[in-house]
Amino acid sequence: AQNLVDFNLETGGVATAFTVLLALVATAPFSHAGRPAGWELKFRLGGRLAMLCVPLFVAAAAAATLYSARNELGRQTERLLAAAAKGPAEPCSDGALGEAACTMLEHHPADFMAPLVLGKAWLEGKPRKLDRAAHWLSRSLLLFPANATAHRLLGRALFMAGFKEQAIVEYRLACKWDPRLLTAVTTEVMRLTGEPGLAIEATPPSGKNYLAVARNLKVLGQRRAAEKAVRLALEQDSDLLPALDFLANLALDDGRLDEVAGLARREIQLDPLHDRGYLLQGMVLLRKGDVKGAEKAWLEGLQQVPDSALLASHLVRRYLSDGRLAEAEAVVKRLQSFAPSDDASQARLNAMLGRLHEAKGMLYEARNDYRMAWQLAPGARFYLLDVARMEHRMGNWDEAERIYRQLLVEGFQPERMKKQLEEVKRARERGTEDAMRKVWLEQSKGEEGLP
């Protein structure tokens, strides 16, 4: 539909192909049994006229190709985007953006990019003009109604102008056309209003959408709003296991153990192979002081889901905390036979091997296991912390300090990292003093042997 309005977008492709097809239809001999009918011959071109069409076709194709090359959309779009960084402007006004927008609107009047860039420039530039931003963003949406970016920018402009209800509608449409914007929209609404209820209201109603917003609200410190969002997710899809997991974790943090137990039973009923259901059952029993019951729940889960690295890792930690090395080793060996090949499961397996080796005093092997886990799951910083701990225990102060500083810069448990750095500093000083004392003692022994 856009090409019908802005035909020069496809001049070289559409126009040329149409001309060739028309020439073929006009000059093709209709071969069939018998003589051609009179109406078939009526549309055929004469010999001289057909010969004349050939150079005309070549000339038309050359002109179309030249015009398309001179007004190529991609090149003009790049020029427009580069000019937008120099500040807002109206089309055909003085300045780089005005000239670039004027050219785009003249050659490609049905393309949505020029109005979008103009609206964004007025929204983010100085001076900011919300009325002009809304004007151009609305025009962009008329040309491309499913443009999620334009909906989001228009929502921001309307919020700044005080039209909250219309802004919520635009944000909801942005997330509808591109669910990847859910996190960005939630954060933006919270920044503009500080009202988590509006962030939930701006979410297109679906279980997965509400769950994504709930996770983001939890990261932003809005636990109650996160719980409200995840309950809305379960209203949309009561069988959504990730939403049940999320709600159970919130309830567990708040100490609502009976609710967690009910959610765990529901998860296992929905999917007997869902290992987090068994994990939650064990966590509830552990919080109640029933250690044996927790171990039994996790073992039963491991029988149902023998490849669950999640359940195995909790069992191994439980056993190692009690010094039961043989039982922990049995769980690890069993998991080695069943563990899936995905990176996350293999990372957990290597971390378990590292804890087992660490408990046995095999620090070098433990360090290698933790390092392998970190390489398989580079986003899990606690594996890197395990590597640093091993370097620390082995006396590799420089490497331990480097990793602790890296984790501190990344914002991972900053208070703990500062304490670890202080410990490394003290350990290095003690090591230096011990080395100096050793040298002094050796020198003293040598001096005693002199005549």
**What average pLDDT does the segment 261-267 reach?**
95
Question: CA 309, CA 275: separation in Å to the nearest integer?
Answer: 9
Name residues whose C-beta falls within 8 Å of residue 105's C-beta, 6 or more positions apart in sequence. Answer: 91, 114
pLDDT at 256 over 50: yes
Burial tier of 433 (Cβ tally within 10 Å: 0-12, 13-18, 19+): exposed
Residue 423 lies in a domain: no
Which range has the top average pLDDT, 55-64, 244-253, 330-339?
244-253
Query: pTM (2 decimals)?
Result: 0.73
- Total number of residues shown for the chain: 451
Residue 310 lies in a domain: no
N-terminal to C-terminal alpha carbon distance within the chain:
106
Determine which of 45-54, 93-102, 357-366, 411-420 has the lowest per-residue pLDDT on average: 45-54
- What range does the domain containing 49 cover? 2-70
Q: What mean pLDDT is reported for the chain?
A: 83
Residue 8 lies in a domain: yes
Cα radius of gyration (the chain):
35
pLDDT of res. 41 = 61
pLDDT of res. 24 = 63
Question: CA 133, CA 119: separation in Å to the nearest integer?
Answer: 4
Closest CA to 329 of 355, 293, 363: 355
Question: CA 434, CA 426: separation in Å to the nearest integer?
Answer: 12
- Would you place residue 82 in the very low, low, confident or very high pLDDT band (cuts 50, 70, 90)? confident
Residue 65 lies in a domain: yes
pLDDT at 214 over 50: yes
How many structural domains is the chain composed of?
Answer: 1
Residue 109 lies in a domain: no
**What average pLDDT does the segment 362-388 reach?**
92
pLDDT of res. 39 = 65
pLDDT at 69 over 60: no
pLDDT of res. 284 = 95
pLDDT at 374 over 80: yes
pLDDT of res. 4 = 47
- Would you place residue 436 in the very low, low, confident or very high pLDDT band (cuts 50, 70, 90)? low
Residue 76 lies in a domain: no
> What is the torsional sign of CA 69, 71, 74, 75?
positive
C-alpha distances (whole Å) from 348 to each of 246, 325, 328, 341, 379 are: 21, 18, 14, 11, 13
Angle at 325 between CA 322 and CA 330, to 5 degrees: 120
> What is the torsional sign of CA 271, 272, 273, 278?
positive
pLDDT at 6 over 80: no
- Would you place residue 449 in the very low, low, confident or very high pLDDT band (cuts 50, 70, 90)? very low
The first and second tokens of residue 331, run together, are 């769980």
Place of tokens 């609710």: 259
pLDDT at 450 over 50: no
Query: For a pLDDT cut of 70, what percent of the chain falls above it?
Result: 81
**What average pLDDT does the segment 317-332 reach?**
90
- Would you place residue 65 in the very low, low, confident or very high pLDDT band (cuts 50, 70, 90)? low
Residue 121 lies in a domain: no
Q: Tell me if residue 410 falls in helix, strand or coil.
A: coil
| pLDDT (tens digit per residue) in 145-174 | 999 999 999 999 999 998 999 999 999 999
pLDDT of res. 1 = 41
Provide the greatest CA pair distance for the chain: 134
Stronger pLDDT, 298 or 39, i.e. the higher one: 298
Stronger pLDDT, 161 or 39, i.e. the higher one: 161
**What average pLDDT does the segment 278-282 reach?**
95
**What average pLDDT does the segment 421-444 reach?**
70
Residue 52 lies in a domain: yes
Query: For a pLDDT cut of 90, what percent of the chain falls above it?
Result: 48
**What average pLDDT does the segment 26-36 reach?**
56
pLDDT of res. 98 = 77
Per-position DSSP letters for 334-356, written without gaps between them? HHHHH--SSHHHHHHHHHHHHHH
pLDDT at 5 over 50: no
Which helix (H) or strand (E) segment holds residue 28: the answer is none
The first and second tokens of residue 263, run together, are 């959610």
Q: Tell me if residue 21 falls in helix, strand or coil.
A: helix
pLDDT of res. 426 = 87
pLDDT at 316 over 50: yes
Place of tokens 């078939």: 40
